Chain A
Amino acid sequence: MNNNKTIQETEEEIIDSFSLFDTWEEKYEYIIDLGKKLEPLDDKYKIADNIIKGCQSTVWLVSEFENGRIFFKADSDAVIVKGLVSMLVEVLSGHTPDEILNAKLDFIREIGMMNHLAQTRSNGLLAMVKQMKNYALAYKGIKEAEKI
């Protein structure tokens, strides 16, 4: 899955989709649907090393580095978090470390889901964003080391 769109373009698409919704129910039904549609992570990836443990729900995150781009796969045991995870993967997967590091992810605020990144939610989502950026930083380091 090569990502031809920029991060910005994918974010705008998501914002556009959400602008069609008038009620919180519609927004959440959409997110729940995304969560259900996200391909479940193979059990072999659901290991301790890939867990981003929140206080309440668990997120698993796997990354691969190919041709200078990072590909993410993720899953969660809670479906709303899984829907949000699905959007983050859609936005960031297939981009270069620099693009990922520079992503502001404003769409989360724009679609009114910022509260899910708040620390009190303890759902691993904030930690997941951090971890995605950490991977980008690590792969960037590897890439630069290879140049030397």
Chain B
Amino acid sequence: METIATIPDFDVRAIRKYFPILNRELNDKRLVYFDNAATSQKPQVVIDALTNYYSHYNANIHRGIHTLAEEATAAYESTRVAVRRFINAALPEEIIFTRGATEGLNLVAYTYGRQNINAGDEIIISGMEHHSNIVPWQILCEEKKAVLKVIPIRENGELDLDAYKSLLSSKTKLVSVVHASNSLGTINPVKEIIDAAHRVGAVVMIDGAQSTVHLDIDVQDMDCDFFAFSGHKVYGPTGVGVLYGKKELLESMPPFMGGGEMIKEVTFEKTTYANLPYKFEAGTPNIADTVALKSALDFIEDVGKESIRNHEIELLQYATEQMKTIPGLKIIGNAKEKVSVVSFVIKNIHPQDLGVLLDNQGIAVRTGHHCTQPVMDYFKIPGTVRASFAMYNTKEEIDRLVAGLYKAIKMLS
């Protein structure tokens, strides 16, 4: 197969050829996949990396002295190096492999949180968090008698930063905010949020589940203390994710889980823990998916993040303009800075009915509350229809969505 580097300019038709699933037909219609914020499709190079690993060098990593173990270890660790570069962490040992963003958030809540949050302390999250960036902190606050504070959302889907700043105080010990909202598309000004939190001595965790695939991530420039994302949303496999943490913080934290891999020495009296990053990687890790994650990141870099972003902005603008022509349609989330997510409702129609009728036309969107129930409560809606775009989507597909919506509305009214 030709390498992606041979594609001179961003050419969506050429890019689509790398994603075999896009050839699928549903109801005799070519699949239009607009559920990328839930999970992205996988390029052939990622699928090949999985097959190649299991076909040629499957072995348990780190302690084996045979050739396969060495090859598997080298491939696994080379993903760590690739991730470090991808998000510009200072050191590879600041990269912890997890099952996904959710595990990264929980890891920090259960280790850093339990160690450092005390009664009366305050944790700040935002009103547009995914449930995975709400529930771990609620559990922690209940256990520690700490207080959870919420940055309010404004009508356009942006955070109220003045309100945020007024929530900050010497009681604030941790701030955990989503970089890009999965239900609204809003890109939050994380640098400003982090800087303000640091001024009161709080540490900051950024949920990068949605942002990592769309935006340039530089954790050093951002100066976040923790950053989590999922492999499957960046064209990689499911079941692998990344937690970045600043080295001095990760070193000071107790382990999350005990087991193999994460120990230095075990006796019945006392166990000493392995150095970073292994202290947080108990048990045999998800080797195959971690190995294939590197292929996904390489693929993104080969296509070019800037080109992808430009293409996605074009799709977002086109979709927004086209959707506005549909009578009764209201876009939920109109922030100035958005990733390629369009969430909407249509007057007097339940989002689920639209989802069912679009599915019958071969168009995959997501409907519902998108695991952000407080956002839906704020806008007083049961849910939205969400179309989210990736590098392989086209304007023609958006045309099909718009036509599909007209048809659905006609059938429902």
Where the two chains meet, the residues of A that have a C-beta atom closer than 8 Å to any C-beta of B are 24-25, 28-29, 32, 55-58, 77-81, 116, 122-123
Contact = CB atoms under 8 A, between A and B. Distances in A.
Contacts of B351: 56
A51 to B, nearest CB: 13
Nearest to A79: B353
Contacts of B352: 56-57, 78, 80-81, 123
A103 B367 CA distance: 31
A28 B383 CA distance: 22
A56 B382 CA distance: 7
Interface in B363-377: 367-369
A29 B360 CA distance: 12
Contacts of B355: 56
B406 to A, nearest CB: 13
B3 interface: no
28 contacts: A24-B27, A24-B360, A25-B360, A25-B411, A28-B356, A28-B357, A28-B360, A55-B368, A56-B351, A56-B352, A56-B355, A56-B368, A56-B369, A56-B382, A56-B383, A57-B352, A57-B382, A77-B350, A77-B382, A78-B352, A79-B350, A79-B412, A80-B352, A80-B353, A80-B356, A81-B352, A116-B356, A122-B368
Interface in B333-359: 350-353, 355-357
Interface in B181-235: none
Contacts of B357: 28, 80
A36 B409 CA distance: 14
A55 B371 CA distance: 10
Query: What 3 pairs across the A-B complex have the smallest Cβ distances?
Result: A78-B350, A56-B368, A78-B352
A32 B353 CA distance: 9
A25 B408 CA distance: 10
A119 to B, nearest CB: 14
Given A24-B360, A56-B368, A29 B411 contact: yes
Interface in B18-34: 27
B411 A32 contact: yes
A56 B412 contact: no
Contacts of A122: 368
Interface string B26-69: 01000000000000000000000000000000000000000000
Nearest to A29: B411
Contacts of A32: 353, 411-412
A28 B367 CA distance: 18
Given A55-B368, A80-B356, A28 B411 contact: yes
A67 to B, nearest CB: 36
A68 to B, nearest CB: 36
A77 B367 CA distance: 14
Interface string B109-126: 000000000000000000
A58 B351 CA distance: 12
A24 B357 CA distance: 9
B303 to A, nearest CB: 31
Contacts of A28: 356-357, 360, 411
Given A24-B360, A25-B360, 8 more contacts: A28-B357, A32-B412, A55-B369, A56-B352, A56-B383, A57-B350, A79-B350, A80-B353
